């Protein structure tokens, strides 16, 4: 055997020709983006969230209109504005979109995918930031688009009634963008809760409790406490972000956003702590 052929026997991976791969923020973002869209549940749940947002807004507007025409509006409805009616679906959309957030993170634990994910990105935290940022942005876009669609179609239905509003009406644009932002943050909170609890069922339970059950339970407290605690709960603070009218029992839109961002940061901090500290 000549020295030339001996040279080719050196180990393949010892040579300088080895490609220089590296983990990068961009890479993790691209990976999480690909993971998000390669699951059927993403498409179905986003579509469902959008459907809830638009369809329930339309139903509310239609009911208002028919009630107004026949003169049988119930009291709750009579004082409604076009914005409120159009955004009626937010409550339902937030469930779908929040649940998808939980699935994106907790689903990795329930399937075992997390082991592959964290073996590829052993520093771990970039995975959480990428998931939260990408999904939050996707929901923000979908939610804002849905809110605008619901409002525009709703305006058509409501024209000629006292609830009729247009985009130029004071507070309407803020309300629509606020609703989109609220839904985006609900998505981030869902993802954070999924990462924190590592269980789909647990994540969904806590999410539903935080957004929908606890505000109801607070009404059982003495009324002086309600005023102190109530507005700062996640669900109520979030609603203040997109409500048109604010009174003594609610926060201003800015304060609502601040408080809701605080809750989001808290959930993310808990998720980050558990992600870094606990074995998978």
Partner 1 sequence: MIEAQQLTKRYGEKTAVDHLDFVVRPGTVTGFLGPNGAGKSTTMRMIVGLDAPTAGSVTVDGRPYARHRAPLQEVGALLEAKSIHPGRSAYQHLRALALTHGIPRRRVDEVIDLAGLGSVARKRAGAFSLGMGQRLGIAAALLGDPRTVMLDEPVNGLDPEGVLWIRTLLTSLAEEGRTVFVSSHLMSEMALVADHLIVVGRGRLLADTTVADLVRRAGGDTVTVRTQDPARLREALAGPGVDITGQVGSEELQVTGLTAREIGLAAADHGIALFELTPRTVSLEQAFMDLTRDAVEYHATTTADRTPGRAA
- Contact residues for partner 1 (CB under 8 A)? 10-14, 18-24, 27-28, 30-32, 34-35, 38-41, 107-108, 111-123, 279-280
Cα three-residue angle 166-170-171, rounded to 5 degrees:
100
We find the least distance from the C-beta atom of residue 2 to partner 1, in angstroms, to be: 20
Q: For residues 151 and 28, what is the distance between their CA atoms, to the nearest angstrom?
A: 36
For partner 1, give the closer residue by CB, 117 or 239.
117
For partner 1, give the closer residue by CB, 79 or 116.
116
Asked if 192 and 234 touch (Cβ cutoff 8 Å), the reply is no
We find the least distance from the C-beta atom of residue 26 to partner 1, in angstroms, to be: 8
For partner 1, give the closer residue by CB, 31 or 250.
31
Task: Give residue for tokens 């808290």.
Answer: 266
For partner 1, give the closer residue by CB, 110 or 152.
110
We find the least distance from the C-beta atom of residue 117 to partner 1, in angstroms, to be: 8
We find the least distance from the C-beta atom of residue 195 to partner 1, in angstroms, to be: 15
We find the least distance from the C-beta atom of residue 6 to partner 1, in angstroms, to be: 14
* Torsion (CA) 34, 35, 36, 41 in degrees, nearest 10: 130
We find the least distance from the C-beta atom of residue 266 to partner 1, in angstroms, to be: 25
CA 166 to each of CA 170, 223, 242: distance values in angstroms, whole numbers, following the listed order: 9, 37, 16
For partner 1, give the closer residue by CB, 116 or 249.
116
Asked if 131 and 194 touch (Cβ cutoff 8 Å), the reply is no
We find the least distance from the C-beta atom of residue 272 to partner 1, in angstroms, to be: 16
For partner 1, give the closer residue by CB, 36 or 206.
36
* Among 53, 55, 30, CA closest to 184: 53
Task: Give residue for tokens 């209109």.
Answer: 65
For partner 1, give the closer residue by CB, 112 or 227.
112
Q: For residues 173 and 103, what is the distance between their CA atoms, to the nearest angstrom?
A: 31
32: left (phi over 0), alpha (psi -120 to 50) or beta: alpha
Helix/strand/coil percentages in the chain, nearest 5: 80, 0, 20
For 7, how many CA atoms within 13 A lie in the half-sphere containing its CB? 3
């Amino acid at each position: 055997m000549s020295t030339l052929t001996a040279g080719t026997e050196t180990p393949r991976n010892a040579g300088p020709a080895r490609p220089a791969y590296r983990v990068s923020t961009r890479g993790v973002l691209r990976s999480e983006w690909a993971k998000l869209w390669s699951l059927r549940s993403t498409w179905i749940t986003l579509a469902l969230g959008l459907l809830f947002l638009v369809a329930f807004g339309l139903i509310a507007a239609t009911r208002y209109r028919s009630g107004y025409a026949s003169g049988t509006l119930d009291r709750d409805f009579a004082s409604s504005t076009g914005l409120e009616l159009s955004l009626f679906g937010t409550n339902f959309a937030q469930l779908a979109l929040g649940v998808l957030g939980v699935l994106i993170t907790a689903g990795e634990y329930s399937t075992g995918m997390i082991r592959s994910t964290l073996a590829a990105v052993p520093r771990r935290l970039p995975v959480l930031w990428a998931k939260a940022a990408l999904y939050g942005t996707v929901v923000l876009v979908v939610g804002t688009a849905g809110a605008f669609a619901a409002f525009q179609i709703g305006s058509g239905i409501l024209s000629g009634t006292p609830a009729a509003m247009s985009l130029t009406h004071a507070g309407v644009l803020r309300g629509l963008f606020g609703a989109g932002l609220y839904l985006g943050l609900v998505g981030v909170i869902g993802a954070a809760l999924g990462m924190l609890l590592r269980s789909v069922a647990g994540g969904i339970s806590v999410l539903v409790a935080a957004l929908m059950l606890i505000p109801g339970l607070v009404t059982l407290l003495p009324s002086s406490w309600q005023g102190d605690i109530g507005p700062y709960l996640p669900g109520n603070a979030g609603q203040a972000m997109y409500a048109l009218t604010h009174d003594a029992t609610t926060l201003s839109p800015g304060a609502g956003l601040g408080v809701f961002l605080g809750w989001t940061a808290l959930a993310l901090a808990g998720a980050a702590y558990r992600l870094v500290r606990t074995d998978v």
